[in-house]
C-alpha cells in the first residue's frame, strides 16, 4: 500500500480538541470529512503517495452516543451511515476520530475491531474503492492516523501536520540533523533543526528572489527542496542569480540545474530536485502537492494566481515574494519606489485577489501568451493586450533582502521567534525609507477562492484546481 499523510487545518484541530475534551477525563469521538490528493510519483522516493486534508469536522449527535469512560467510547452507527453518504456524494473521505486522554500512544485491539467493522459497513455501502481514515488524539495535541483500504491491516500514516499561523509536523521517525547546524540550535532550540529537516519545500522561480531563497533554505537545513523554473541563465541576470557563472550563460544552462548544482556542492545533506517547466505543467503537479510549504518567487501574475488556488485546495502555505522597483517617469536614472512584499497565502487569510497583489488582467494576458502565442500577438497589435514592457530594474541587495524576509516567515511559522503567534500574513518593507509595516486584508465575501470554505482542503478535483481553460 502507498504511503499516506494527513494535514489538518488549525481551525479543524481546535474544533476537534473542543469536541473531544471531557471534564471527567473520558474518551471522546467525532467525525471528519477529508479531501484527497493522489500523487502518482513523489519527487523524493518516486513512489505513489496519498495526502488527506481536513475539510469539515462533524460532531456526533448526542442521541447517537452510547457510553464513554477513561478507556473507551462507543456510539451507534446512524450518524456514521450519514457520514458515508455525504462522503460518496461529495467525493470526500470519511474519518473517525477519538481520544486517548490517558496518553496511550497508538491504536488498541478494541480500536482495531471497531474500526474494521465500520470499514466493512462503509465498503458495503460506498463500494470496494472506499477508504476510511482513523485518527486518535493522544493527550491534548499528539495525533496518530491510519488508513483502512482493506479489511486486514490498516496503513499507518507517516506524518500528521497541522497548518495555521504555525506549521507543525508530527512524524513517526525523527530525521538525523547535521552537526553543521549546531549554532542554529543555540538560537532557536534543538527542535528547530529537526523541524526543518522534516520539511519538503517547493520554490517556484529561480531568479532574483528565488535563487537566494534556495541558498538560505539549504543552509538552514531544510531536508528536501524542489526547484521549478522554465528559464535559462542569461548574461543579463548573472548579477542576481546566486551560483550562476558566465559559462552557464554562454551555454544557456537551465536555472534549476544551476540551483541544484550549487546546493549539492554545499554538502549539507539536502535533497534537491530540479524541474523544468511552468508551474501549471502536469509533470510539476505531483511535486507541488508533495510539498509542506511553497515559496512563490515568480513575477508571473498567472503563476501567482495558480499557487493562490493551490494553497487553498491542498492546505499548503504559499510564501509569496514581491519586489517593486519603479523607475522614474522621465527616463532618468533613479527609482520612485523601492519596496519588498512577503505574503503568506492560506485559508482564513485573504488571497492574492483580495489583497490586490496580482494584476488579473495581466494574468489573463500571460495565460493567452503561453497557450496561444499567435492570438496573443494579434491582440497586442490591435491593442487588446498590453504586451511586455521594458525590463524591470533589479538590484541584487534588494532581491536578497526580499528573499531573507520570506525565509524568515518560514522560521516564524516553525518556532515563532517574534513571539506574535507565528508568521505574518503580509509584510511590506520600504527599502528606501527604512521602515516596515504589516498589512491586513479581509477576504471578500464574493471571492471564489478565499470568501467561501467550499474549496479549502478539497484536494483533487476535475478540472485541476477547478480552473477552466
131: its cell numbers: 477508504
- The pLDDT value recorded for residue 363 is 73
* Cell 529561480 found at: 206
Q: What is the pTM of this model?
A: 0.94
What is the pLDDT, as a whole number, of residue 361? 73
pLDDT on residue 193: 94
How confident is the model at residue 359, as a pLDDT?
79
CB atoms within 10 A of CB 126: 17
Q: Which of 237, 170, 181, 221 is nearest to 394 (CA)?
A: 237
- Residue 406 in contact with residue 209, Cβ under 8 Å? yes
Write the CA distances from 374 to 281, 364, 368, 380, 386, integer angstroms: 20, 15, 9, 10, 15
pLDDT tens over the chain, length 469 residues: 689 999 999 999 999 999 999 888 899 999 999 999 999 999 999 999 999 999 999 999 988 887 888 888 888 888 999 999 999 999 999 999 999 998 899 999 999 999 999 999 999 999 999 999 999 999 988 999 999 998 788 999 999 999 999 999 999 888 888 888 999 999 998 899 999 999 999 999 999 999 999 999 999 999 999 999 999 999 998 999 999 999 999 999 999 999 999 999 999 999 999 999 999 899 999 999 999 999 999 988 889 999 999 999 999 999 999 988 877 776 677 677 889 999 999 998 898 988 988 877 777 777 767 776 776 566 656 555 455 555 667 789 999 999 999 999 999 999 989 887 899 889 999 988 888 888 777 888 888 888 889 999 999 999 999 886 5
pLDDT of residue 360: 78
Instruction: Tell whether omega for the bond before 463 is within 30 degrees of 0, i.e. cis.
Output: yes
Report CA 394 to chain centroid distance, whole Å: 28
| Cα separation, 275 vs 255, whole angstroms | 10
Check residue 10 and give its pLDDT. Answer: 96
Residue indicated by cell numbers 501574475: 301
In order of their start, the domains of the chain are 3-163 (3.40.140.10), 179-466 (3.40.50.720)
Amino acid at each position: 500500500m502507498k504511503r499516506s499523510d494527513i494535514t489538518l487545518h488549525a481551525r479543524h484541530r481546535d474544533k476537534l480538541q473542543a469536541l473531544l475534551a471531557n471534564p471527567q477525563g473520558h474518551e471522546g469521538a467525532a467525525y471528519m470529512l477529508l479531501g484527497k490528493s493522489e500523487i502518482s510519483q513523489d519527487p523524493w522516493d518516486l513512489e505513489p503517495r496519498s495526502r488527506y486534508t481536513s475539510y469539515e469536522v462533524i460532531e456526533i449527535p448526542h442521541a447517537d452516543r452510547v457510553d464513554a469512560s477513561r478507556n473507551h467510547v462507543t456510539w451507534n452507527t446512524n450518524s456514521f451511515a450519514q457520514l458515508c453518504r455525504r462522503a460518496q456524494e461529495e467525493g470526500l473521505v470519511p474519518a473517525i476520530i477519538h481520544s486517548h486522554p490517558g496518553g496511550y500512544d497508538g491504536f488498541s485491539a478494541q480500536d482495531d475491531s471497531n474500526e474494521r467493522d465500520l470499514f466493512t459497513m462503509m465498503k458495503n455501502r460506498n463500494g470496494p474503492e472506499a477508504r476510511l481514515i482513523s485518527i486518535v488524539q493522544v493527550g491534548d495535541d499528539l495525533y496518530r492516523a491510519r488508513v483502512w483500504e482493506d479489511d486486514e491491516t490498516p496503513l499507518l500514516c507517516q506524518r500528521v501536520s497541522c497548518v495555521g499561523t504555525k506549521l507543525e509536523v508530527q512524524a513517526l521517525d525523527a530525521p538525523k540533523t547535521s552537526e553543521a547546524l549546531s549554532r542554529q540550535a543555540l538560537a532557536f532550540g534543538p527542535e528547530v533543526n529537526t523541524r526543518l529537516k522534516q520539511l519538503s519545500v517547493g520554490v517556484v522561480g529561480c531568479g532574483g528572489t528565488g535563487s537566494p531563497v534556495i541558498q538560505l533554505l539549504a543552509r538552514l537545513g531544510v531536508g528536501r527542496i524542489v526547484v521549478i523554473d522554465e528559464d535559462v541563465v542569461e548574461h543579463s541576470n548573472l548579477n542576481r542569480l546566486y551560483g550562476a557563472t558566465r559559462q552557464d550563460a554562454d551555454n544557456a544552462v537551465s536555472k534549476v540545474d544551476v540551483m541544484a548544482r550549487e546546493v549539492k556542492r554545499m554538502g549539507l545533506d539536502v535533497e534537491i530536485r530540479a524541474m523544468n517547466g511552468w508551474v501549471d505543467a502536469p509533470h510539476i503537479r505531483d511535486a507541488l502537492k508533495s510539498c509542506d510549504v511553497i515559496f512563490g518567487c515568480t513575477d508571473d501574475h498567472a503563476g501567482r494566481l495558480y499557487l493562490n488556488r493551490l494553497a487553498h485546495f491542498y492546505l499548503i502555505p504559499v510564501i509569496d515574494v514581491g519586489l517593486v522597483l519603479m523607475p522614474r517617469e522621465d527616463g532618468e536614472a533613479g527609482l520612485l519606489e523601492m519596496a519588498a512584499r512577503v505574503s503568506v497565502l492560506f485559508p482564513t487569510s485573504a488571497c492574492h485577489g483580495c489583497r490586490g497583489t496580482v494584476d488579473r488582467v495581466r494574468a489573463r494576458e500571460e495565460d493567452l501568451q503561453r497557450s496561444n502565442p499567435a492570438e496573443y500577438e494579434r491582440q497586442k497589435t490591435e491593442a487588446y493586450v498590453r504586451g511586455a514592457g521594458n525590463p524591470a530594474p533589479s538590484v541584487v541587495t534588494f532581491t536578497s533582502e526580499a528573499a531573507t524576509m520570506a525565509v524568515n516567515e518560514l522560521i516564524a511559522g516553525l518556532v515563532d521567534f517574534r513571539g506574535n503567534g507565528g508568521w505574518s500574513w503580509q509584510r511590506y518593507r520600504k527599502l528606501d525609507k527604512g521602515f516596515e509595516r504589516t498589512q491586513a486584508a479581509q477576504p471578500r465575501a464574493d471571492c471564489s477562492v478565499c470568501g467561501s470554505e467550499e474549496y479549502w482542503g478539497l484536494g483533487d478535483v476535475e478540472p485541476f484546481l477547478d480552473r477552466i481553460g
